[in-house]
Structure 1
Amino acid sequence: MSEKPHHVSTGRDVLHVIRRTAVKSWDDSIFAQSAQAAFWQVLSLPPLLLGILGSLTFVGPLFGPDTLPEIQERLLRVANSVFSKSVVAEIIEPTIIDIMRDGRGEVVSIGFVISLWAGSSAISSFVDSVVEAHDQTPLRHPVRQRFFALGLYVAALAMAVVTLPVIALGPKRIAGVVPDSWNGLLRYGYFPLLGIALVALVALLYRVSLPRPLPSHRLLIGALLAVTFFVIASLGLRFYLNWITRTGYTYGALATPIAFLLFAFMLGFAIVLGAELNAAIEERWPAGATHARQLREWLSPTNGSANASPEDSPEGC
């Protein structure tokens, strides 16, 4: 069964979707969910960096002696483009340096296993929010969902350990092969490619989080909104923090932790808002069954009776 055709959207349909997104976000307590996600992101940052950078101390040297310093430099460069200078200088950079120096031994300890559970807490909060936005909470047991989030986290760590050396060294090696006239394209194409990759990753998070997933292309609009909102919010936060620092009105010793919490809150808000938009679109224009679900139904022993009964037809998934 392919996706059901629907009428061409009108301005009234778009306004309805925007209104439903706002109502659903409020009903699902988007501010409370974002605050919860921010809390777990802050607690998960050291375990996350330990998992990635500690593992890279084993894998990185296989790509050459300059791999680890290049990865560290690129991570700090990306952090500086997202967070304020104080957050990078006082929280992120010292954590990265400490882990790069001492993380190798931590990876083979019991503490690393514990850090996997702690580090997956942020992913778990995102998964819970996405599932709730689509009203699919009853479809997966909470304990199973927590271990599902742990599996996602471990898979993401493994992917990061494999891809970070390639991302760090790839541009330099490509620049040494392609003609000099392409250097401008490589330089200015980095951030657009990064934006596309972020949208794809957020859409992937939306898809794998749902017990009854939607077709991938139906999740791209929410992912695009999430990335766009976070970029704009980050720029606004950086401007606000720079302005308030110049005026002399600061939070004293708490300024940097509060700034980091604000960035984490905006990230959580963006993820939840994108999920609510996807859910509102699904309400307005229900999608057909995904190819994976069609295949499962076709392979099911009860396929014949399921097709004969309208009660077992796909419910807008």
Structure 2
Amino acid sequence: MGARRVVRIRRRVRRTLAWRLVRGTVATCLRYRVTGLAAEGAFFAILSLPPLVFGLAGSVGYVVGGFGPHAINEVKGQLVDIARGALTEDSVQRVIVPTLNAVLDRGRADVISIGFVLALWSGSRALNVLIDTITIMYGFGGRRGIVRTRVLSFSMYVVALAIGIVVIPLVLAGPTLVDSFLPSRLQFLVSLYWPVVVVASTGFLATLYHLALPERTPWRHDFGGAAVAMVMWLAGGWVLRTTLTQTIGGTSIYGPLAAPIVVLLWLYVVVISLLVGAAFNATLHAHLERRAEARRRVADGAEAPREASPRRTEVFPGVTAGEHPLEARNPDDLTDDLTDRAGDRADDRAGDRAGDVSPQPKAK
């Protein structure tokens, strides 16, 4: 009975929601070439990165400049520390630090007027590609026109940039502010600051998924993919940084391109995390739609009159003659049968072929 027991265990595992979501997410990623879409998104993101940092950091420097040089240096140090947590030291010193020094030290109106306009166009272009790729992962590619997508990406980018100008200094200076305002008996709340920031970032990603779709879905249903994207982003960034720190040292074969390539790889991890989260949400939405459809069909079957049958012969397990097949089954079980019946039959046939066969007695 060992083979049949293995078949039953496989069937139970296959019917669990977690396995269905994992299998559907992987299938969606393979169907829409998630690696190619992530490479496309990372390419446009790195093209938009210099004007984005120039405009955003210049605006932040212009706002924070009113608090004095000490506040600017503190914000700069916090940004560099965050960059060190995601990139290698060489990339930080050759790409991030010079940009921050050139922009934060002179947050004037000319930085905002020139760099901000460039950042609006380039940043919205990268966000336009990101929205388009997320839509493809959901299976809605081509539903929204080019003009509508461009207008949506531009408006979302302007709103996000306006919020970031105010929020970024508060987030960076947040632990110090919280520590100064809290009494000594509540100092343990300081350790909860960054978890709260992560949760808020997850909500931002859920909002991005919610707004990117041409067909609106419940906002709460997008939190699953946002959580998956956040976990993949943090884990993938840590793995990338650890790997590059241990493998890249001394003279690189890429020469002066080594630091930009590291930034490109990090952006690739960010984009592929977002797209895998979108694939997870698409699988979850399809599962919820199947369950809702099954419940509607069960309700329709319960309202239909049933003809009396003199004999109640079982036509298949759990359903007898005279009963409506959809009415006799639990909605979750019905959904399981509709999605896994073909696989169950194949496994049953495999189990029968590989099952225990009693040895035939030898002929005397």
TM range (shorter): 0.7 to 0.9
Aligned residue in 1 for 2:84:
80
TM-score, length-scaled by structure 2: 0.70
Aligned residue in 2 for 1:286:
289
CA distance in structure 2 between the aligned counterparts of 1:264 and 1:65, rounded to whole angstroms: 31
Checking the alignment, whether the CA contact within 8 Å between 2:120 and 2:154 is kept in structure 1 is yes
* CA gap 1:103/1:58 in 2 versus in 1, 3 angstroms: closer
Deviations 1:178-220 (A, max 9, x none): 123433431x323312221221111111111112221111111
Q: Choose from 104, 116, 123 the match for 2:120.
A: 116
Aligned residue in 1 for 2:133:
129
Amino acid across the alignment from 2:222: L
CA distance in structure 1 between the aligned counterparts of 2:119 and 2:250, rounded to whole angstroms: 40
Q: Choose from 203, 218, 223 the match for 1:220.
A: 223
Deviation at 1:61, TM superposition (A): 3.5
CA distance in structure 2 between the aligned counterparts of 1:166 and 1:249, rounded to whole angstroms: 38
Amino acid across the alignment from 1:42: I
**Match of 1:135, SS?**
coil
* CA gap 1:126/1:287 in 2 versus in 1, 3 angstroms: farther
Amino acid across the alignment from 2:225: G
Aligned residue in 2 for 1:12:
16
Aligned residue in 1 for 2:297:
none
Aligned residue in 2 for 1:197:
200
**Match of 1:129, SS?**
helix
Deviation at 1:278, TM superposition (A): 0.1
CA distance in structure 1 between the aligned counterparts of 2:158 and 2:214, rounded to whole angstroms: 19
Deviations 1:272-295 (A, max 9, x none): 000011001111112999xxxxxx
Deviations 1:28-70 (A, max 9, x none): 1211111011111111111111221222233224456543322
Gaps of at least 5 residues in structure 2 are 1-12, 293-364
Q: Does 1:182 align with 2:166?
A: no
Q: Does 1:233 align with 2:236?
A: yes
Amino acid across the alignment from 1:209: A
CA distance in structure 1 between the aligned counterparts of 2:252 and 2:259, rounded to whole angstroms: 13
Amino acid across the alignment from 1:218: H
**Match of 2:16, SS?**
helix
Moved more, 250-259 or 37-46: 250-259
Deviation at 1:161, TM superposition (A): 0.8
Q: Does 1:24 align with 2:28?
A: yes
CA distance in structure 1 between the aligned counterparts of 2:158 and 2:51, rounded to whole angstroms: 12
Checking the alignment, whether the CA contact within 8 Å between 2:54 and 2:115 is kept in structure 1 is no
| 1:31-70 paired onto structure 2 within 5 Å | 31-63=35-67, 66-70=70-74
Checking the alignment, whether the CA contact within 8 Å between 2:127 and 2:153 is kept in structure 1 is yes
Checking the alignment, whether the CA contact within 8 Å between 2:60 and 2:107 is kept in structure 1 is no
CA distance in structure 1 between the aligned counterparts of 2:252 and 2:96, rounded to whole angstroms: 24
Aligned residue in 2 for 1:307:
none
**Match of 1:140, SS?**
coil
Q: Which has the higher contact order (CA 8 A, sep 6+)?
A: 1
Amino acid across the alignment from 2:93: A
TM-score, length-scaled by structure 1: 0.80
* CA gap 1:287/1:94 in 2 versus in 1, 3 angstroms: farther
**Match of 1:137, SS?**
coil
Aligned residue in 1 for 2:167:
163
Aligned residue in 2 for 1:97:
101
CA distance in structure 2 between the aligned counterparts of 1:288 and 1:160, rounded to whole angstroms: 39
Amino acid across the alignment from 1:206: Y
CA distance in structure 1 between the aligned counterparts of 2:222 and 2:113, rounded to whole angstroms: 39
Deviation at 1:136, TM superposition (A): 2.5
Checking the alignment, whether the CA contact within 8 Å between 2:202 and 2:226 is kept in structure 1 is yes
* CA gap 1:111/1:237 in 2 versus in 1, 3 angstroms: closer
Deviation at 1:85, TM superposition (A): 1.6
Gaps of at least 5 residues in structure 1 are 1-8, 290-317
Moved more, 108-117 or 82-91: 108-117
Checking the alignment, whether the CA contact within 8 Å between 1:56 and 1:68 is kept in structure 2 is no
**Match of 2:168, SS?**
helix
Cα root mean square deviation, aligned: 2.5
CA distance in structure 1 between the aligned counterparts of 2:174 and 2:238, rounded to whole angstroms: 28
Q: Does 1:142 align with 2:142?
A: no
CA distance in structure 2 between the aligned counterparts of 1:248 and 1:90, rounded to whole angstroms: 15
CA distance in structure 1 between the aligned counterparts of 2:203 and 2:291, rounded to whole angstroms: 21
**Match of 1:46, SS?**
helix
Checking the alignment, whether the CA contact within 8 Å between 2:41 and 2:126 is kept in structure 1 is yes
* CA gap 1:243/1:249 in 2 versus in 1, 3 angstroms: farther
Amino acid across the alignment from 1:127: I
Bigger CA radius of gyration = 2
Q: Choose from 241, 261, 273 the match for 1:258.
A: 261
